[in-house]
Structures are given as structure tokens and as C-alpha cells.
Amino acid sequence: MRRLYLREAAIMLVLARLALSILPPARIFAWVNGPLKRVNRFAVDEIGWVSWAIESLGERLNAGCLPRTLAAHAMLRRRGIPSQVCLGVGRHDNKLAAHAWLEVKKEEVVGRSETHRFVRIAQFGGAQT
């Protein structure tokens, strides 16, 4: 089962990187804001597996926080789990820095190790239920 999640995460990370390089941000975030076709409220274990697969592969592939966040959002969306892409800014070494993370029911599931240093400036995606 872990291999299936890792394979899907690898594909989604590649697609997220590709989308970020060729599509305008407005189009990407319009997709993120799109409605879910179905909602699956009982897939709690899926959230942990998706988070694990994205974070594990993201580190190995040196994927940034935004591709990881978008890839995880896509994986959760396929499973009918509403999630929210959050963008924040903060200071790091006296320079302005940005960070993206993913939340499900107001709990950070991807990119959580850095969020305490950033102030949320935008959020996109599914309803927080």
C-alpha cells in the first residue's frame, strides 16, 4: 500500500512542478478553489498516508513547499477530502520569505514544520468542516 501512495505522490509532484512552470497562478488557484465532485468525510487514515508520501518524496526530490502543497491537495481531492492551500510570508535571515502549507479541518498536514514563522496572507480551496 505504501508503494501506491509513493507512486501517486511522485506523479503528483512532477505534475505540480510542471503546472507551476507553465500555467499562470490564477489558473492554478482557480483549480484549487473548484468544488469537490464528492465529499468523503470518513477517510481520516488517507490524510496521514498522503501527508507521509508527499513529505517523504518531497524531501528526496528537493521539491519546494508549493509543489508539495499542490500535489497533496490533488491527492486529497481525488479522495473527496476537502483541503485548503495556505500561503504565508515572514522574515528569514532579515529577508522576506514565503511558505505554502496544506490544512485539513484547520490542521496542518503538509508543510507544518515551518508554519509558525509565517503569517497567513491567502488561502484557497475546500471548505473547512
Residue-number span of the structural domain to which 25 is assigned: 2-125
C-beta of residue 110 within 8 angstroms of C-beta of residue 88: no
DSSP string, 48-99: HHHHHHHHHHHHHTT--HHHHHHHHHHHHHHTT---EEEEEEEEETTEEEEE
pTM here is 0.90
Count structural domains, the chain.
1
Coil, strand or helix: which one is 96?
strand
C-beta of residue 73 within 8 angstroms of C-beta of residue 85: yes
Cα 87 to Cα 14: distance, rounded to the nearest angstrom? 20
pLDDT, one tens digit for every residue, the chain (129 residues): 789 999 999 999 999 999 999 999 999 999 999 888 888 777 778 899 999 999 999 888 888 999 999 999 999 999 999 999 999 999 878 899 999 999 998 899 998 877 788 999 999 987 544
